[in-house]
Amino acid sequence: MAVSIKSAREIQLMREAGKILCEVHNQLEDFVKPGISTLEIDQYGEKLIRKYNCIPSFLNYEGYPASICVSVNDEVVHGIPTKQRILKDGDIVSLDAGVIYEGYHSDAARTHLIGKCSLEAQRLVEVTKQSFFEGIKYAKEGNRLFDISNAIADYVESYGYGIVQDLVGHGVGRKLHEDPQIPNYRQSRRGMRLKAGMTLAIEPMINAGGYEVVWLDDDWTVVTEDGSLSAHYENTVLITEGEPEILSLVE
């Protein structure tokens, strides 16, 4: 496994990529509402990314046809935007996006509540988000990779939710997907030792029901097997000699 340690220059480029992606997500959050199509979200997201002189990471990546992955309700990830899919009151929608800035990727996802949602949906979205922050408490030089995985798993399982196992987090940098893989479920081993300069996309994908998922016939959209709701929260994280730096979450 060849894990990339980023130079000071590379980190600065990734920091800028993350800052831009954070702003894209902030504006997408203000944009999503009942009555708009998932295609409109994608078109608006791509416009924002290009406004910042960046390239959408996902567009045409291994054939994916859009710039923003828009996944609604039981769709876990990689939902393909269409003009026919209209958001309605009570939906939850996960927006996964990436930008390429000067050759470097940043990758982040957010799940939004549309209109008035059930308490179940609200709790799932909040637990998924918080599980990320529980995990990165261990994202420090000298700790082990799977310390992150186990912290996420322990927190999520305390709520009885299912943790997707067929999809995991990953390294990120010059490529959208780099080593290492970062599971969100408990591991029996502790994994590799973390080093300053690693950049990781940590992304809990959590189901209200079971962990099992299936792929739809479009070969992209992943849905919960039992039809339960699913939420996704992701950031690009820099390992440092001290506390981790969340590159795609800028105050």
Is 37 inside a domain boundary? yes
Buried b or exposed e, range 45-75, using 16+ CB within 10 angstroms? bbebbeeeebbbbbbeeeebebbbbbbbbbb
- Domain assignment of residue 197, yes or no: yes
pLDDT tens digits, one per residue of 181-194: 999 999 999 999 99
- CATH number of the structural domain spanning residue 221: 3.90.230.10
Query: Per the domain annotation, does 77 fall within a domain?
Result: yes
In a domain, 3, yes or no: no
Does a cis peptide bond (omega within 30 degrees of 0) precede residue 180? Answer: yes
How far is the C-alpha of 39 from the C-alpha of 45, rounded, in Å? 10
Q: What does pTM read for this prediction?
A: 0.97
Instruction: Identify the domain containing residue 24 by its residue range.
Output: 8-246
Q: How many domains does the chain have?
A: 1
* 224-233 confidence digits (pLDDT tens): 999 999 999 9
Return the residue matching tokens 């599980």.
131
- Residue 2 in this model has a pLDDT that exceeds 90: no
Residue 104 domain-assigned (yes or no) = yes
Q: What is the pLDDT of residues 62-116, one digit of tens each?
A: 999 999 999 999 999 999 999 999 999 999 999 999 999 999 999 999 999 999 9
Task: Give domain status of residue 46, yes or no.
Answer: yes
Inside any domain, residue 225: yes
Instruction: Tally Cβ neighbours within 10 Å of residue 83.
Output: 11
Confidence band of 251 (pLDDT split at 50, 70, 90): confident
Residue 2 lies in a domain: no
